[in-house]
Amino acid sequence: MLADVRYWEKIAQKNHFAIPHFNVWNVEMLEGVMDACEQENSPVIISFGTGFIHNTIFEEYAGMMVSMAKHSSLPVITHWDHGRSFDIVKNGYDYGMNSVMRDASQLSFEENVAETKKVVEYFHPLNVGVEAELGHVADPNKYEKAMENYKYTDPSIAKKFVDQTHCDSLAVAIGQVHGVYTSKPSLNFDVLEKVSNVVSVPLVLHGASGIPDDQVSKAVSMGICKVNIHTDLGIAAMKAFNKHRDQLYLEVQKYVREGIKDEAVHKIHVLGSQSKAELKLDNY
């Protein structure tokens, strides 16, 4: 069933687990993660974003995302990830995404507040939860290089940001980057603790692929309620593809779906979202 991200992030916050957010942009990914969530009885966020529009026509693919969400017995949220403008985010909503992220984290604090606020004011009357980002999770790069000018979330302005924007969840930059790490990442738990102490909205960890499991689960235990995963699904897909590459594509595709499923199952256990699909929140 289609579910409300704000409701499920609150459940995750109260019960100390994180909802998996899987970026999906083809059939194998969508079916693979849904297979995993059905098997593990996990709530899930299936998500699309601008980075995938050269692979897949979102406006067509969204129909499949929404259809699978509706037909599932699990709580499924359809999400637009890293919306770089109001119009991009609105297009996601117009085609069936019921949760959005407005990512203005590359702009100044004031501009980030203004851009996020505009999206919140439009979407709250429509019952759509809005995620924002403060600090900046760097894009694929050499990890050491990215860390030189890394924009950590500043705990001293995090509360002001949430109070001024009324965003429903906050993505934090705590030493992680998107994509493949070129050396072992190390999350800054000190920053996470400080942000967690001043902000009451659920916190989000982007760029979770490649971060050691113990660091991800520690982050979840410290208040991360949603974890974004993309690259590791692709790596699992490629492993399955390479292992079975001599067979017909018709068969290889099934192995790829299975490889993605296994990786998603692993992530679900790291986040502790297994067997959580029936949880309820009183007084919501």
Catalytic machinery residues: 81
Please give the backbone phi and psi of residue 144, each rounded to the nearest 5 degrees, phi first.
Answer: -60, -40
Q: Among the candidate windows 52-60, 157-165, 191-199, 230-238, which touches ligand 13P by CB under 6 A? A: 230-238
- The CB-of-131 to ligand 13P minimum distance in angstroms stands at 10
- What residues are paired with 99 via a beta bridge? 79, 129
Give the span between the Cα atoms of 166 and 282, in whole angstroms.
22
Contacting ligand 13P (CB under 6 A), which of 28, 31, 40, 81?
81
Q: Does 208 bind ligand 13P (CB under 6 A)?
A: yes
5 lines the binding site for ligand 13P (CB under 6 A): no
Kindly state whether residue 230 participates in binding ligand 13P, applying the rule CB under 6 A. yes
Please pick, from the candidates 42, 72, 99, 209, the single residue that binds ligand 13P as defined by CB under 6 A.
209
In whole angstroms, how close is the CB of 66 to ligand 13P at the nearest point? 20
257 binds ligand 13P (CB under 6 A): no
Residue entry with tokens 């949760």: 99
Q: x/- site string to ligand 13P, residues 113 to 132, per CB under 6 A?
A: --------------------
Provide the token pair at 188. Answer: 């800054």
Rounded CA separation 270/220 (Å): 9
Count of residues near ligand 13P by CB under 6 A: 14
Q: Which of residues 261-280 bind ligand 13P (CB under 6 A)?
A: none
Q: Kindly write out the interface string for residues 165-194 of this chain, putting x where it contacts ligand 13P by CB under 6 A and - elsewhere.
A: -------------xx---------------
Burial 242-266 (b: 16+ CB within 10 A, else e): eebeeeeeeebbebbbbbbbebbbe
Query: CA gyration radius for the chain?
Result: 18
Query: Rounded distance, CA 205 to CA 220, Å?
Result: 9
Please give the Cα distance from 88 to 102 (Å, whole number): 9
Binding residues vs ligand 13P (CB under 6 A): 23, 81-82, 178-179, 206-209, 228-232
